[in-house]
Chain A
Amino acid sequence: MDSKTSASPLLEVVDLYTHFDTPRGVAHAVDGVSFRLERGRTLGIVGESGSGKSVLSRTIIDILAKDGSVLNQGEVRFEGRDLMALPEKDMREIRGREIAMVFQDPMSSLNPVKKIGKQITEVLVKRLGMPGAEAKRRAVELIESVGIPDAAQQLDRFPMHLSGGMRQRVAIAIALAGEPKLLIADEPTTALDVTIQAQILDLLRRQQVERNMAVILITHDLGIVAQYTDDVVVMYAGQIVESCSTEELIRRPRMPYTEALMNSAPNLADPPHTRLDAIPGMPPNLLRVPQGCRFADRCPYAAEKCSTEMPALAHDEDSSHIYACWYPLEVKEAVSA
């Protein structure tokens, strides 16, 4: 990608690899990923389960196991500093403060038996050095800002007594407490009901705009990407296969996998019993990734070259839309006309 375009972005991931040494071989979970994210923007990372989205986000905030099973390479530049080279002590300062994370299961970031008020004030006191009384006031504000009614009373409740949607709101309040510049939300609504999902995603967007915070929104749902992100990265088998603005991706996908992903989801505009364009087969085993294009054995356009040579990410002359494909889809201008 062109590094000449601008001054240092908020986050720049450069040629990142995360492999796992497992008893059955080395799993190429994240395999040469590069992207950049500007301040105040929302980047969607979309891909099927196992494509490496969660491992990528965990690598960025450096919370993967430290037992030698994780093999890392590459750079994660946050405001120009390479987080991969930072000692854990400095990284702890960054986590929760500069970069916060919200997980699919809110309980994984909450302590089930500690009152939610205490969990929020702790962040405020520890990370921002706020005095106790002020922290308490601020906690009430935060709880209110994430749409929890009767905020003052709620501080005394335990996460285990809250519904899934309420827990996710609390997890978001805690993530926001440190006033992060970057929030990584890994499938924050996958475990929630559709009406609650809409509430949580609206909430995230409001907070993002108000705070001019950058957000990485990880999801397997292209509909969520379309509605809630500015830019998007499509992952397949540990690699980025396409990346551009969200609007561009939805209107003019170039990589066959992106098109296949869009077509396989049922479309509300179609009448009942419309035959779905399923993608045949399954993603490759990450222990034995093919040498050519990783989508080749499922791709309707695959030719000989596809299974022998891996296509690199590239873009057309007049565009920053990047994709990895030997035979990219034609641009269908007619769509918008």
Chain B
Amino acid sequence: MSALNALLSIENMTVEYTNQGQRFAAISDINIDIAEGETLGLVGESGCGKSTTGRAIIQLPAPTMGKVTFEGRDLSELNHEEMRQVRRRLQIIFQDPVSSLNPRRKVKDIVAEPLVIAGMKDAAERERRVREVLEAVGVDPDTAMDRRPHQFSGGQCQRICIARALIMEPKLIVCDEPVSALDVSVQAQILNLLEDMKERYGLTLLFISHDLAVVKNISDRVAVMYLGKFCELADSARIYEAPAHPYTAGLMATIPDLSTIGADAGPALMGEIPSPLNPPSGCHFRTRCPHAQERCAAEEPEFRQIESGHHVACHFPLTEQES
């Protein structure tokens, strides 16, 4: 899956945590490339490892096994100072914009902070940059700079978080559920803003969300995760049109949307999400899969390419059964 123009590559990455004295893999042995300029969507249910993946990319914490290569450099081999330099080009924004801003500081100081950390001494130049990014994200610098976060709505706080991420002129931004806490009307504002900023600053995005409609809208490619592993990866349009993994298909069938007035959607996926402390043998999804067979418990399906750019981890992909 290694692309020539990969900005970031994840190879055999595993992140382990300890929970109640037990060691377990929150994500295990995942591989993916993110191409320069693309938006890769990452979807999956709570606890499947989306945020863990996003944080491991910026080495917070570094993966337990495997490696992350960014702009051709293996991040695990960088010393503290080198990593600090790289981090400017590798930013992250979070779900809860209000609590990710320091309530006691003024907006101008919050947004300028990365510049200060990076050692920029010229205060006038810092202020110029702060104004520029605030304007870019649609926040009026004159009224906002001297205010504190609690004086802004959730949507405005998310704009400020985006401004802070942009000020370092990053290459890649990990967006961890950036619109999940926002109302639909404001969500649309932020999604449009991210598209604009991507264009204007030539960004690459890893966009994490549990909302399939949002992910389809913003992503070029979509990766679906379940219990610490990828089940499917394909072009955004393709994966919604012809999901090959039974879990992806189940997710698609459960999205309530306006076209299904009163109609019964497909049957909901049965069962509970198993605990990552004790994942099922073989295919992680088999306890809920309507197509599971004996082989699924015995043998873990490989994440393989079924057609150009379309990868799936399933012994019996849906697209192959039809043909």
Q: Which A residues are in CB contact (< 8 Å) with B187?
A: 264-265
Pick the interface stretch among A27-35, A90-98, A271-279: A271-279
- The interface bits of chain A over 186-209 (1 if a CB of B lies within 8 angstroms of the residue's CB, else 0) are 000000011111110110000000
For A265, give its contact among B184, B210, B212, B288 (CB under 8 Å): B184
B255 & A276 in contact (Cβ 8 Å cutoff): no
A227 & B183 in contact (Cβ 8 Å cutoff): no
Cβ of B317 to closest chain A Cβ, rounded Å: 19
* Closest A residue, CB atoms, query B41: A272
CB-CB under 8 A for A197 and B254, given A267-B213, A272-B216: yes
A194 & B185 in contact (Cβ 8 Å cutoff): no
CB-CB under 8 A for A227 and B254, given A264-B184, A265-B188, A282-B155: no
Tell me if A19 is interfacial: C-beta within 8 Å of chain B: no
Cβ of A164 to closest chain B Cβ, rounded Å: 8
Most buried by B among A193, A194, A199, A268: A194
Tell me if B265 is interfacial: C-beta within 8 Å of chain A: yes
Pick the interface stretch among A217-225, A304-312, A322-330: A217-225
Tell me if B217 is interfacial: C-beta within 8 Å of chain A: yes
Task: Tally A-B pairs: CB < 8 A.
Answer: 136
CB-CB under 8 A for A246 and B192, given A165-B272, A195-B254, A202-B268: no
For B217, give its contact among A165, A227, A266 (CB under 8 Å): A266
Tell me if A151 is interfacial: C-beta within 8 Å of chain B: no
A276 & B192 in contact (Cβ 8 Å cutoff): yes
Q: Which A residues are in CB contact (< 8 Å) with B268?
A: 195, 198-199, 202
Q: How far is the CA of A196 from the CA of B46 in the complex (A)?
A: 11
Chain A, interface size category, equals: 35 or more
Q: Which B residues are in CB contact (< 8 Å) with A201?
A: 256
A270 & B258 in contact (Cβ 8 Å cutoff): no
Q: Which B residues are in CB contact (< 8 Å) with A274?
A: 217
Q: Which B residues are in CB contact (< 8 Å) with A267?
A: 213, 257-258
A195 & B192 in contact (Cβ 8 Å cutoff): no
B 89-134 contacts with A by CB, 8 A: none
B257 & A223 in contact (Cβ 8 Å cutoff): yes
B191 & A266 in contact (Cβ 8 Å cutoff): yes
Tell me if B297 is interfacial: C-beta within 8 Å of chain A: no
A271 & B192 in contact (Cβ 8 Å cutoff): no
Cβ of B204 to closest chain A Cβ, rounded Å: 15
Tell me if A247 is interfacial: C-beta within 8 Å of chain B: yes
CB-CB under 8 A for A282 and B214, given A221-B256, A273-B195: no
For A193, give its contact among B213, B259, B260, B273 (CB under 8 Å): B273
Cβ of B152 to closest chain A Cβ, rounded Å: 10
CB-CB under 8 A for A223 and B254, given A194-B45, A264-B187: no
* Closest B residue, CB atoms, query A47: B183
For B186, give its contact among A227, A273, A282 (CB under 8 Å): A282
Q: How far is the CA of A279 from the CA of B288 in the complex (A)?
A: 39
A 22-50 contacts with B by CB, 8 A: 48-49
Q: Which B residues are in CB contact (< 8 Å) with A153?
A: none
Q: Which A residues are in CB contact (< 8 Å) with B265?
A: 198, 227
Q: Which B residues are in CB contact (< 8 Å) with A314?
A: none
A193 & B192 in contact (Cβ 8 Å cutoff): no
B192 & A278 in contact (Cβ 8 Å cutoff): yes
Most buried by B among A196, A201, A230, A280: A196
For B261, give its contact among A48, A246, A270, A272 (CB under 8 Å): A246
> Count of chain B residues with Cβ under 8 Å from any Cβ of A?
45
Tell me if B220 is interfacial: C-beta within 8 Å of chain A: yes
Tell me if B236 is interfacial: C-beta within 8 Å of chain A: yes
CB-CB under 8 A for A273 and B257, given A194-B251, A198-B265, A282-B155: no
Tell me if A261 is interfacial: C-beta within 8 Å of chain B: yes
Tell me if A299 is interfacial: C-beta within 8 Å of chain B: no
For B257, give its contact among A49, A228, A268, A275 (CB under 8 Å): A268
Q: How far is the CA of A201 from the CA of B240 in the complex (A)?
A: 23
Q: Which A residues are in CB contact (< 8 Å) with B216?
A: 266, 268, 272
B185 & A261 in contact (Cβ 8 Å cutoff): yes
Q: How far is the CA of A194 from the CA of B256 in the complex (A)?
A: 9
B261 & A279 in contact (Cβ 8 Å cutoff): no
For B210, give its contact among A164, A193, A272 (CB under 8 Å): A193
A272 & B188 in contact (Cβ 8 Å cutoff): no
Tell me if A107 is interfacial: C-beta within 8 Å of chain B: no
* Closest A residue, CB atoms, query B156: A282
Tell me if A250 is interfacial: C-beta within 8 Å of chain B: yes
Tell me if B5 is interfacial: C-beta within 8 Å of chain A: no
Cβ of B197 to closest chain A Cβ, rounded Å: 14
Tell me if B270 is interfacial: C-beta within 8 Å of chain A: yes
B217 & A270 in contact (Cβ 8 Å cutoff): yes
Q: How far is the CA of A251 from the CA of B288 in the complex (A)?
A: 36
Q: Which B residues are in CB contact (< 8 Å) with A280?
A: 189
* Closest B residue, CB atoms, query A264: B188
Tell me if A55 is interfacial: C-beta within 8 Å of chain B: no
Tell me if A70 is interfacial: C-beta within 8 Å of chain B: no
For A277, give its contact among B188, B195, B210 (CB under 8 Å): B188
Tell me if B1 is interfacial: C-beta within 8 Å of chain A: no
A interface residues with partner B (beta carbon < 8 Å): 48-49, 163-166, 193-199, 201-202, 220-224, 226-228, 230, 246-247, 250-251, 260-262, 264-280, 282
User: Can you name 15 extra interface pairs (CB under 8 A) apart from A48-B183, A194-B45, A198-B269?
Assistant: A48-B185, A193-B46, A198-B256, A223-B260, A224-B256, A226-B259, A227-B262, A246-B261, A251-B261, A262-B258, A267-B213, A272-B236, A273-B218, A276-B217, A277-B188
Query: Which 3 pairs between the two chains have the least Cβ-Cβ distance?
Result: A198-B268, A278-B188, A223-B256
B interface residues with partner A (beta carbon < 8 Å): 45-46, 153, 155, 183-189, 191-192, 195, 210, 212-214, 216-220, 236-237, 240, 250-251, 254-263, 265, 268-270, 272-273, 288
List, sorted by A's number, 23 A–B pairs whose CB atoms are closer than 8 Å.
A49-B183, A163-B273, A165-B272, A193-B273, A194-B255, A195-B45, A195-B254, A198-B254, A198-B268, A199-B269, A226-B258, A228-B256, A230-B262, A246-B261, A250-B261, A265-B187, A265-B213, A266-B217, A268-B255, A273-B217, A278-B185, A278-B191, A278-B192
